Amino acid sequence: MTQTDIPTDVPVATAPAPMAPHKDLKWIGRSVKRVEDPKLLRGLGRYIDDVVLPGMLHAVVLRSPHAHARIVSVDAERARNAPGVVAVLTGPEAAARFAPLPDSGPAPDKHVWRVLAADKVRYVGEGVAVVVAETRYQAEDARTLIDVTYDLLDPIVDPLEAAENTDDLVHEALGTNVAYERTFTFGEVAHDFATADVVVRDRLRWGRQTAHPLDTTAAIGDYDPGTGEMVVHTNSISMTWLAFGAAVALGIPSNKLDLRPYISGGSFGSKQFCWRSTVTAAMMSKITGRPVKYVEDRLDHQLNGDQHGSDRYYDVELALMRDGTFRSLKIDCVDDYGAYIQFGVGSHGNALAQVTGPYRITSTEYRVRAVLTNKTQQGAYRGFGADAGNWALERIVDKAAAELGMDPVDIRRRNLIPPDAFPYHIPSGNMYDSGNYEPVLDHALERFGYAGWREKQALMRAEGRKVGIGIVTANERSVYGATEFWFWFDDKDVPVKTTSTPEGVSLTVDTVGNLTVTLYSTPFWGNSSDTVAAMLVAEEFDVDPADVTVVHHGTKGGLPAAGPGGSRLTVMLAGAVTGAAKKIKDKLLRIAAHDMEVDEADLEWVDGGYQVRGAEDARRSTADLAMLAYLVKTALPAGEESGLAANFVYDHPHLTMPKPDRSDLGSFYPCVGHACHLVAVEVDPETGAVDILDYVAVHDSGTLVNPRSYDGQIVGGTAQGVGTALSEELTYDAGGNPQVGTFWDYLIPTALDVPEVDFGHEQTPSPITAHGIKGGGEAGRLMAPGALSAAIDDALRDHGVRVTELPATPERIVGWLRKEET
Amino acid sequence: MTATHEPAAPVGTDVDTDPATLHPITITVNGTEHRLRVEGRRLLVDVLRQDLRLTGTRTGCDQGVCGVCTVRLDGRTVRSCITLAVQADGADVRTIEGVAPDASTLHPIQQAFWEKQGLQCGFCTPGMVLRVQEILEENPTPTRAQVREGISSNLCRCTGYQFIVDAAIEAAAQMAEDGS
């Protein structure tokens, strides 16, 4: 099968995916200056905290100082009488008036999640009351006047202990601290292990981190008591298809709730949903009848923003042959989800989308235990579980290479899925649409000067310097189908169903031919949604992207849309814009043919208009035809509507159902990119400091849209991966007290901590998306931790040190060295 | 600032310590003089954002770490989230809104950030632009390493800094060519 063949299995959702001819692309593939930037550079971007509404009040949240305690009483009387205070709402009061927050986990009624704690607090930072006042200063003053009496409970901190503990429970109704447990077996795992020459085992620990965008999550609720309409201005995702979740929590009809998107200073996954900020601001507006702004401060965001990343303990086993050929993989993972489980175990569904990476591995076993503890709950962080999954797989591959005495490049090359095997189904069922991995590897090796670096390394090591080289070859799944959230739940009484995770756009050509594209659910988070949409429109209509107006629509009355996430946005917008443009261009063609009294077949689209083939003078531009469409009904074909606008909802490009017995999870994350990162580091054994000497990143995400922006995503994601690998960690003491709470101790890399990345590109188009685009937004962070871990291993190989825990902080590295010495 | 272990001097009777007292201050922001009365605890960033509606200056951490709130106070970059407004009394303050020469032209540093995509979400950008401006005033021909060291005062979560460094180098070249 060639890579341009469409896969044979019948998908649930296959959107029409016009493959535009690539020879004549005018904008796609060009590094275009972003249309969003001039206002941002002048300080004129309108972020949520810049918005001031008449009569607006300010909310602050009183946070629990205890990890686990019963709330005996909350006395807010003094706060209510403090200067400027308009309202105080305590947790018990909120529980009586507002429904729990949406929770897609198993058995949400057994781990009820509320905007404020009602009966007990389950982590340090959980909100117990909201104060609303005329100014934030007054609200913060009054917050100190609330008296809460707590009955302290034993904190549940270690997830491995918590999994076995049935005496101390985070949620009594659940009867256990294990919210979910499951073992999937894909293929002949037992047989493959029994017949393998070698089994390599590893225990790995992926530490708890968070995205920490510089702009925290915030919302302004604006309730109209007269009409019952609630507008929430928000910098979180405002996806039309799930906004009803907030409406339910607020007790408002979904068609009276409008979530309006604002640009935001970064997300990296952390602004998915954010029900808490939306509901906090909205419920206080409903209570006071005035606009209420809730802006998380840095501590609110870290402790009560529901945005921690994966926190995993892995046992990994790789079965392989003595020549280095992989056979089978077993993964057993305990994940510390914290006190609630808002997205269920979706982050493991995500990891399962590329559980075997870029390698031919014929069978896989995957066990997950999702454990609840007294910590802030998980949300999403760039990679959403596939970050840790990639790292664990690359760690065991490096260990296998070391045990077999193979070069880490050679063992990878031997196992890469060959180009003629695509579309390729991995054991868990997900389909990889296309790929050509070896050229990526070769490109990276050449760019890096691998052989030369090995020689340099030998010379430097001869001088006593601890220099190491690390490599990863790993995948980036993109364009999620929501299956990853629900294939876990296969209760026979629940009918099997799925969603295609659609994305809609509206395209309007006005009377004089100017173009407006309306996006639903897509706030700008730094991901250049506007530039991408404008480029796609410009490509279709032969205009300049800077001349396309981009509108962000609120959820009310919006088309289905899910916004950015899972590296989907560029692909989904490309499908949606292409579809809407086709509707409009078809109409333009009909009008042009009618007006010029020629057959449609005699017309061709050239440079922004239709002209008679071979007759340049006989043409109608988009503006000519738009004028007719709006103003000259008599010039339109019989039955043609006036105006020139189209909606298009693009469904997921390729989604297939899981098998009922879950021996196959179906295809749910099919646009799969690939990358190779190579890094050289020097480790100071005295201080444990890691100095990055050289860094090469070669990526293949199919057709590139805006290469400079794409590289920006790669280097930014790589920098976050450096933080993941070396410095960032949300630590807790044995009492469940967070040990970090500021940027003084949660160490986001500075300009001195990250490398200059040398980029390379390969482009293997997707056969199932418009223009062959795949997503790439998460790719940098999906690669860097594995590459840096391998390089540190290599640097310290004479000491027998292997990185089995991230982040590899200086303190940890020195500890590992000392342990090996003794 | 020099650390001292001397006990603080007792507050004189002529000093008004009532937190509600409003203190008159005069600050010049981007060339315009403003006379205001502020609480002693009121932060400079709140005066800029809320009282003067110059919202290009933002806060990221409220603790003086991240540099999002960077403004120039008598020429030097400072953290406006940990600067009291009364400390700025009599000062000349420059914010991002005062960097571009006019409404249709960007400053060469802003233009270079645009050309090189030295920004993604734009949240750290005002502080970064002001810091790069200060770096280039001190050293009009910095190396990449010097720019990295210079901007290590300010956090950016999106870009990995590389294209900010590109922008600073490009701006330096452009400004040298322009003689500005």
For the stretch A749-799, pLDDT in tens is 999 999 999 999 999 999 999 999 999 999 999 999 999 999 999 999 999
Confidence category of residue A551, pLDDT binned at 50, 70, 90: very high
Whether B32 is in a domain gets the answer yes
What average pLDDT does the segment A317-322 reach? 98
* Tokens found for residue A810: 């200086």
User: Do residues B94 and B27 share a domain?
Assistant: yes
User: Do residues B45 and B87 share a domain?
Assistant: yes
> What domains lie within chain A, and their CATH numbers?
48-153+210-304 (3.90.1170.50), 312-416+431-483+669-821 (3.30.365.10), 502-650 (3.30.365.10)
Residue A708 sits at the chain B interface (C-beta within 8 Å): yes
Torsion angle of C-alpha atoms A721, A727, A729, A732, degrees rounded to 10: 170
Closest CA to A209 of A58, A378, A340, A331: A378
What average pLDDT does the segment A804-817 reach? 98
User: Do residues B90 and B124 share a domain?
Assistant: no
Tell me the per-residue pLDDT of A116-161, one tens digit each, with 9 for 90 and over. 999 999 999 999 999 999 999 999 999 999 999 999 999 999 999 9
Indicate the number of domains in chain B.
2
The span from the CA of A112 to the CA of A582, in Å, is 46
Number of Cβ atoms within 10 Å of the Cβ of A403: 14
User: Domain range for residue B84?
Assistant: 22-98
- pLDDT for the residue A238: 66
Residue A171 pLDDT exceeds 90: yes
* Tokens found for residue A255: 């068609």
The span from the CA of A430 to the CA of A655, in Å, is 9
pLDDT averaged over every residue in chain A: 95
- DSSP class of residue A416 equals B
Residue A572 pLDDT exceeds 50: yes
What average pLDDT does the segment A456-467 reach? 98
Q: Which amino acid is present at A74?
A: V
User: Do residues B118 and B167 share a domain?
Assistant: yes
Residue B60 sits at the chain A interface (C-beta within 8 Å): yes
Last residue of one domain, picked from the residues B64, B98, B132: B98
- pLDDT for the residue B3: 43
What average pLDDT does the segment B58-69 reach? 97
- pLDDT for the residue A7: 44
Dihedrals phi, psi of A94, to nearest 5 degrees: -65, -40
Closest-CA distance, B131 to chain A, in angstroms, reads 13
Whether B65 is in a domain gets the answer yes
Whether B103 is in a domain gets the answer no
- pLDDT for the residue B9: 55
- Across the interface, whether the CB atoms of A41 and B114 are under 8 A apart is answered yes
Residue B125 sits at the chain A interface (C-beta within 8 Å): yes
Whether B9 is in a domain gets the answer no
Minimal Cβ distance to B151: which of A214, A712, A751: A751
Residue A221 pLDDT exceeds 60: yes
Q: What percent of chain A has pLDDT over 90?
A: 90
Decide if B57 contacts B96 (C-beta within 8 A). yes
- DSSP class of residue A263 equals B
User: Do residues B112 and B171 share a domain?
Assistant: yes
User: Do residues B67 and B124 share a domain?
Assistant: no
Residue B96 sits at the chain A interface (C-beta within 8 Å): yes
Domain CATH number, residue B171: 1.10.150.120
Q: Which residue of B has its CA nearest to A214?
A: B60
Burial classification of residue A424, based on how many CB atoms lie within 10 Å of its CB (0-12 exposed, 13-18 middle, 19 or more buried): buried
Tell me the per-residue pLDDT of A392-404, one tens digit each, with 9 for 90 and over. 999 999 999 999 9
- Across the interface, whether the CB atoms of A40 and B124 are under 8 A apart is answered no
Residue A31 pLDDT exceeds 70: yes
User: Do residues B26 and B63 share a domain?
Assistant: yes
User: Do residues B84 and B113 share a domain?
Assistant: no
The beta strands (E) that lie in chain B are given as 22-29, 32-39, 70-73, 76-79, 92-94
Using alpha carbons, list the distances in angstroms from residue A658 to A479, A490, A568, A819, B174. Answer: 17, 10, 21, 47, 58
Minimal Cβ distance to A743: which of B66, B126, B144: B66
Decide if A286 contacts A221 (C-beta within 8 A). yes
Kindly give the interhelix angle for A408-415 and A386-404, rounded to the nearest 10 degrees.
110
Burial classification of residue A776, based on how many CB atoms lie within 10 Å of its CB (0-12 exposed, 13-18 middle, 19 or more buried): buried
- Please state whether beta strands A218-224 and A229-234 pair in parallel, antiparallel, or not at all (unpaired): antiparallel
Residue A822 pLDDT exceeds 90: no
SS3 state at A301? helix
Closest CA to A807 of A747, A765, A753: A747
Whether B16 is in a domain gets the answer no
The span from the CA of A128 to the CA of A90, in Å, is 6
Confidence category of residue A20, pLDDT binned at 50, 70, 90: very low
Last residue of one domain, picked from the residues B39, B67, B98: B98
Whether B12 is in a domain gets the answer no
SS3 state at A292? strand
Alpha helices, DSSP H, located in A504-646: 529-541, 569-596, 622-631
Closest-CA distance, A271 to chain B, in angstroms, reads 13
Whether B93 is in a domain gets the answer yes
- pLDDT for the residue A2: 43
User: Do residues B89 and B135 share a domain?
Assistant: no
**ipTM of the complex in this document:** 0.96
Domain CATH number, residue B90: 3.10.20.30
The span from the CA of A287 to the CA of A276, in Å, is 16
Closest-CA distance, A46 to chain B, in angstroms, reads 8
User: Do residues B90 and B135 share a domain?
Assistant: no
- pLDDT for the residue A498: 72
The span from the CA of A375 to the CA of A136, in Å, is 27
Residue A9 pLDDT exceeds 70: no
The span from the CA of A534 to the CA of A152, in Å, is 56
Minimal Cβ distance to A42: which of B57, B97, B162: B97
- In order, the DSSP letters of A646-690 are EEEEEPPS-B-PPPTTSS----S--EEEEEEEEEEEEE-TTT--E
* Tokens found for residue A79: 């706060």
User: Do residues B171 and B116 share a domain?
Assistant: yes
Q: Which residue has the higher pLDDT, A521 or B147?
A: B147
User: Do residues B86 and B120 share a domain?
Assistant: no
Tell me the per-residue pLDDT of B76-127, one tens digit each, with 9 for 90 and over. 999 999 999 999 999 999 999 999 999 999 999 999 999 999 999 999 999 9
Tell me the per-residue pLDDT of A573-612, one tens digit each, with 9 for 90 and over. 999 999 999 999 999 999 999 999 999 999 999 999 999 9
Whether B62 is in a domain gets the answer yes
- What does the H/E/C string look like for A773-794? ECCCCCHHHHHHHHHHHHHHHH
Residue A679 pLDDT exceeds 80: yes
Kindly give the interhelix angle for A779-795 and A707-726, rounded to the nearest 10 degrees.
50
Minimal Cβ distance to A716: which of B99, B155, B158: B158
Tell me the per-residue pLDDT of A462-511, one tens digit each, with 9 for 90 and over. 999 999 999 999 999 999 998 898 888 887 666 666 778 899 999 999 99
- pLDDT for the residue B66: 98
Overall residue count recorded for chain B in this entry: 180
What average pLDDT does the segment B65-72 reach? 98
- pLDDT for the residue A642: 98
Last residue of one domain, picked from the residues B67, B98, B129: B98
Residue A6 pLDDT exceeds 60: no
The span from the CA of A787 to the CA of A724, in Å, is 12
Confidence category of residue A11, pLDDT binned at 50, 70, 90: low
